[in-house]
Structure formats: structure tokens, C-alpha cells
Amino acid sequence: MIKVVIADRLGKGQNVAKGVEAAGGMAVVVPGMGADMRLGDVMQQEEADLGISFCGSGGAGSLTAATKYGYPERHGMRSIEEGVTAIQDGKTVLGFGFMDQEELGKRLVEAFIKKQAK
């Protein structure tokens, strides 16, 4: 099962988690304000396959995870399609502006499953 850590600057992410689970993944939502800055740490603890960070700029949490742990990342994304393309390009840490949408979680997990099948 694909494990996805979701870390939102404002402590949200529950809608993305619903989409992750609808696509057959397991979601771990990092609680609390500033959660995006703990994305990489929680991914390491959980041995996660994918990490999703949300903040105003769409980059802080994903860049921190990449710098600290070497995860391939893409940040500054504002659409589901950008996230799908990032997964197709081999990225495992994705930084978005605030987008707590069920469809985002579902589509990213589906893209990750498809990528792993190749």
C-alpha cells in the first residue's frame, strides 16, 4: 500500500487524505500549525512513499524535506496536473499552494500507482 504524508502549513489536509484513501493509499496527516516544515521528518518516521506539502508559496515544506533527506521534489505547484506530471517525472515530494481537495489526493495516488507499475 502506498503511504502518503500530508503536511499543511495551517494544519489542514483532511480532504486530500480522503482522496488518497479513495485511491487505495494510506494517508498520514501531520497535525498542527507549521506542519509543512515537518514533512520530511514524518516521511522518514513513517517510511512513506510520497509527501505532499501545502503552504502559501507552495515550497517551504517540500524544499526542507529535499534538503534534509534528499527526496526528489517539485514545488510551487498550483494544479492537479502539475502534481501528476511531477510524479511522472519521478518526484516523491510535492509542494503546492493551499489546495486541500479530495481530487488532488486521489489523482496523485493514481499517478503514483501507474508510475510504479512501469
45-55 pLDDT, tens per residue? 999 999 999 99
State the first-to-last Cα distance of the chain, in angstroms, to the nearest integer: 16
Higher confidence at residue 23 or residue 57?
23
55-75 pLDDT, tens per residue? 988 889 999 999 999 999 999
What pLDDT does 109 receive?
A: 98
Query: How do beta strands 73-77 and 93-96 pair?
Result: parallel
CATH at 65 = 3.40.1400.10
Domain containing residue 55: 3-117
* Count of domains for the chain: 1
Asked whether residue 94 carries a pLDDT value surpassing 90, the answer given is: yes
Q: What is the mean pLDDT of residues 80-98?
A: 97
pTM above 0.75? yes
What pLDDT does 57 receive?
A: 83
Q: What is the mean pLDDT of residues 13-28?
A: 97
Q: Which runs of E-coded beta strand occur in 37-82?
A: 50-54, 73-77
Yes or no: say if 62 and 8 are a contact pair by the CB < 8 Å rule.
no
